[in-house]
Chains A and B, each alone.
Chain A
């Protein structure tokens, strides 16, 4: 990797408050990502390609796609978030930035939260933006597409947050990619069930509010607990605890 793609992280001791430090970390991750644009595009291309496989591999019938479309899009989004998780800490781990991050006086879980937020803005959010186009391609009706986008908007941050734990745990291991999937997919299943359940109940004309509220609860739970777990996991991976 080109060294000047990756600006150094400068958080001056004491003078920088926790919020300002979070902003710095977030801005740096965005800058790094936009200097490596191909890395940004890859998960999106993967998302589109996985969705394409289903009509070609299973059935292009409108009735099947309308029934299964929301599930296909959710599974594809889940897989492409999973694929991008390896990048979350890997490069920072390789060039030592991560150690600097852990040594900062600001609480580590806030800095991890900032990194996870950047990860979501760079992968989860584009997936949500892309969803209406693919939704039309799998013949979902307008209402379903709206609900689907809403569930992905609430659900993808949960995926990023849970994923950050797995990424931190498998940091620096052999075959980290496969291991990461093994650890994280079981934890993704509830999010997937409720995500597609929301769309299915909305398609039947039932109000989706209760389901969306449950997904919101997932988000709050992940937002409050996951950063602590990933911060602890990062310390373990870097300094043996």
Chain B
């Protein structure tokens, strides 16, 4: 266990593991996402109330799910950075923040597209939407702070503090639809209860969520590899790796 923990701190070791994992993550991600989306868009039954327009759920829910979940992962990595000063955790936060920003934007955008036919408006200032917008700002702040500090180590630690302060927003987003009775419908998935939709609807949804997770894992590995190569560019193994790649 501890040996694994120490190995995880080594960028070189992670680089190798990531290279081996990535094809699987990519293949699995594409497969699941395709299955989920094709099943959801073409074969799942119509919603009795919203008709075909509900089908955007197969894109909206995965992006929104990931947008929050990526922030939680970043917060865990931030704790690791602050407590154990592990290099990889900080590489993770830095590489993943822009991905989270894009995912949050996508979930807001698809939500707006979904809101137009169902609520009759692109945007309402409801609690769920507003707290997602705050999440978008938080991602923006994390990226801006990271870019503003030149020193790599202080940037990592300052960003970690900011990520942890922003984490108060996550439970607010999660429970906003239950605390305040607003336009946004309640969560589709809950850990403790059976989904309120038939299996033909939630199975493809679950598939696309899992698919997007895998795809995110692939993208995270790819971006972390790039960041590791940049940071370790003066080390022997990176030089060897790059030269071998050319030759």
Contacts and interface: CB of A to CB of B under 8 A. Distances in A.
B154 A182 contact: no
A183 B145 contact: yes
A165 interface: yes
B172 A183 contact: no
Nearest to A238: B154
Nearest to B127: A193
A173 B148 contact: yes
A173 B151 CA distance: 11
A229 B145 contact: no
A237 interface: yes
Interface string A151-176: 00000000000100100011001110
A241 interface: yes
Given A170-B148, A173-B149, A186-B138, A229 B164 contact: yes
Contacts of A240: 151, 153-154, 157
Interface string B162-193: 10111011001000000000000000000000
Contacts, number: 59
Contact of A186 (B82, B137, B148, B149): B137
Interface in A217-239: 229, 232-233, 236-237
Interface residues of B, dominant DSSP: helix
B71 to A, nearest CB: 12
Interface residues of B, number: 24
Interface string B123-160: 00000001000100110110011001101011001100
A183 B141 contact: yes
B158 A233 contact: yes
B161 interface: yes
Name, among B82, B151, B162, B164, the residue most crowded by chain A CB atoms within 10 Å (CB to CB): B162
B152 to A, nearest CB: 10
A5 B137 CA distance: 39
Interface residues of A, number: 23
Contacts of B149: 173
Contacts of B82: 232
A229 B164 CA distance: 9
Interface string A182-200: 1101110110010000000
A179 interface: yes
Contacts of B138: 186
A233 B82 CA distance: 11
Contacts of B162: 165, 169, 183
Contact of B154 (A187, A189, A236): A236
B149 to A, nearest CB: 6
Contacts of A165: 161-162, 165
Given A179-B145, A236-B161, A187 B130 contact: no
Interface of A: 162, 165, 169-170, 173-175, 179, 182-183, 185-187, 189-190, 193, 229, 232-233, 236-237, 240-241
The 10 closest A-B pairs by CB, nearest first: A186-B137, A183-B141, A241-B157, A236-B157, A240-B154, A186-B134, A173-B148, A236-B158, A182-B141, A233-B161
Interface of B: 82, 130, 134, 137-138, 140-141, 144-145, 148-149, 151, 153-154, 157-158, 161-162, 164-166, 168-169, 172
5 contacts: A165-B161, A179-B148, A232-B161, A240-B157, A241-B157
Given A179-B144, A241-B157, 14 more contacts: A162-B165, A170-B145, A174-B148, A175-B148, A182-B140, A183-B145, A186-B141, A186-B169, A189-B130, A232-B161, A233-B158, A236-B158, A236-B161, A240-B151
